[in-house]
Structure 1
Amino acid sequence: MGLFGKYLTLWVALSMGAGVFIGEMFPGFTDTMRSLEIGGGINLAIAVLMWFMIFPMMLKVDFASVKDAGKNPAGLLITLAVNWLVKPFSMALFGYLFVKVLFVPFIGEELANQYMAGLIILAAAPCTAMVFVWSSLTKGDPGYTLVQVSVNDLIMLFAFAPIVKFLVSGTSDLSVPYNVLFLSVTVFVAVPLISAVAAKGAVIKTKGKEWFENSFVPFFQPLSISALLATLVFIFAFQSENITSRLFHVLLLSIPILLQVYFNSGLIYWLMRRFRIRHNVASPGALIGASNFFELAVATAISLYGPESGAALATVVGVLVEVPVMLSVCSICVRSAGWYKAAGTG
């Protein structure tokens, strides 16, 4: 973990604050960076930074290890079931109840529709890169965590776009351009995954597996952390006006996000114990269910509805609450390890 892990909340908070400061104090620079787009809506700066952030994590994806989950599939099946059959729909339910019913007098119908779209996009993207950080904090099984993340990545390539399209069309008046959504998944998931697999194969073939694991992968870790912080700076710079002018809306949006985070993580954690899954498998499973692939969610919302849209703001609120919420879930998992042992699980 090092210095970054020890002061994780501080670095992320500083990056968010720096982003808002840059957006407010240097609007010309922010507008210029925001205007750099590829594919009709994907920001170039964020795309490059996200590649550097996601690529090191993708280097750890071992497709051969996926078959090993068959030896103990219950934990994986529970995680996948909640992630793809419960989580997006629970977010749609919580979002509709709060945003479209309770909060609409304060935010208006138009923004309510946009916020709903952003919340659904956020919930439909399970976390990938940061899961390894959260798992290590709870002493999770790294091999099983890798399998869970790997399978989620594969499913995301095919399930993310249709789920978002179905739920957004069903709960708001906004339409989803499927081609742009699929392009976002391709750029932010498929390209880093394919490039990492190709690089891994080439390096192992020429230098060997030991050099790959002990030299090549560690070389990219500082780049990954720097790219994460820089991505947050750009995201919050692009959204600075939205954040500062809609602080009350940010507070309102955090309510359904927090509810769905604790609901889904708690559901996975309880099901894992109910089916007598080991604690070092259950805790990362709960963390995957609680967190989101916010990089993909923010980029997709910006690609679909624009950087100043309510949908983009809703996904950014997800980023805002991600770290403190996930740290609290980590704490709950660690402190409740005895509860698992009492049930006869490891």
Structure 2
Amino acid sequence: MDKVAESGELQITKPVIGTFERNLTWWVLGCIVVGITLGKVFPGFFQSVGNLKIAEVNFPVAVLIWLMIIPMLLKIDFSAMKEVLTHSKGIGVTLFINWVVKPFSMALLAWIFIRHLFAGLLPVEQIDSYIAGLILLAAAPCTAMVFVWSGLCGGEPKFTLSQVAINDAIMLFAFAPLVALLLGLSSITVPWATLFLSVLLFIIVPVVVSQILRKLLLSRSQNTFDSVLKRLHPISLLALLITLVLLFAFQGEQILAQP
């Protein structure tokens, strides 16, 4: 925010968002259409790619997710957690919503809508998978997007860093037990191998790699760090779009068969 000396008024600098990001909704919709189309046209190829997995974790998708989230995780400074006490009320609200309200409310909604209200519209053998997917989604705070929204609304940087850092630290330890609890309450068998491998690949590895890279880059200079972040940004977005294409290509035929 800049003060305007002549008028004494407070002028707020409008956050800048790129053309690509501004039209991200259309890019996502396009990737969905492309993915479904490719999955229908080349089912054998995408079935082969989809089978490259261990404990139901697909490794091509895992690599793309690393490329997508590591640039975001590079921004996280875990030393910012010392600022938690400065923003205790805001952090408290965030933690309560992320780790109490959201996971349990989503599990409840999944039970109401998937298990009961819409059960007749879904294949019986897939109901547990839908519920498990919603639980997994609810239990993982999308901390990377916090940077985006905070930047767009002119949020307080230290507060943003501290709340992202503490949420990611909690996710390292709380994600697997919380998901296991909610799956158990939903009478779904807990796939422990998949759960722990997912935590390792999608939480621990990206966090460790990003923090090592962060220290190496900052040891050179802040300009080097900022330059690398700028270069990685389009790679992160591209990985997001390719991930969407793959995910919908894997299910292309099924989506068309059961729209």
Is the shorter-chain TM-score for this pair beyond 0.5, marking a shared fold?
A: yes
Matched residue, 1:201: 215
Cα distance in 1 for partners of 2:149, 2:125 equals: 36
Trace 1:312-327 onto structure 2 (pairs within 5 A): none
1:219 equivalent among 209, 212, 231: 231
Cα distance in 2 for partners of 1:204, 1:140 equals: 23
The alpha-carbon distance between structure 1 residues 108 and 232, as it changes in their structure 2 partners (threshold 3 A), is closer
Bigger RCO (CA 8 Å, 6+ sep): 2
Matched residue, 2:27: 11
The answer to which structure has the higher helix fraction is: 1
Cα distance in 1 for partners of 2:50, 2:120 equals: 32
Q: Report the CA distance between 1:79 and its aligned residue.
A: 0.6
Is the deviation greater in 151-160 or in 97-106? Answer: 97-106
Cα distance in 1 for partners of 2:36, 2:23 equals: 20
Which structure would you say has the larger Rg? 2
Cα distance in 2 for partners of 1:237, 1:58 equals: 27
Q: Secondary structure at the match of 1:126?
A: coil
TM superposition outliers: structure 1 runs of 4+ over 6 Å:
none
CA contact (8 A) 2:55 2:193 kept: no
Trace 1:273-284 onto structure 2 (pairs within 5 A): none
CA contact (8 A) 1:91 1:120 kept: yes
Count of aligned pairs: 243
CA contact (8 A) 1:88 1:120 kept: yes
CA contact (8 A) 2:87 2:159 kept: no
Check if 1:237 corresponds to 2:249.
yes
CA contact (8 A) 1:100 1:109 kept: no
TM-score (norm 1): 0.67
TM-score (norm 2): 0.88
Cα distance in 2 for partners of 1:230, 1:104 equals: 31
Check if 1:22 corresponds to 2:38.
yes
Amino acid corresponding to residue 208 of structure 1 in structure 2:
S
Check if 1:188 corresponds to 2:196.
no
Matched residue, 1:272: none
Q: Report the CA distance between 1:113 and its aligned residue.
A: 2.6
2:127 equivalent among 107, 112, 124: 112
CA contact (8 A) 2:106 2:134 kept: yes
Matched residue, 2:14: none
CA contact (8 A) 2:77 2:161 kept: yes
The alpha-carbon distance between structure 1 residues 106 and 35, as it changes in their structure 2 partners (threshold 3 A), is closer
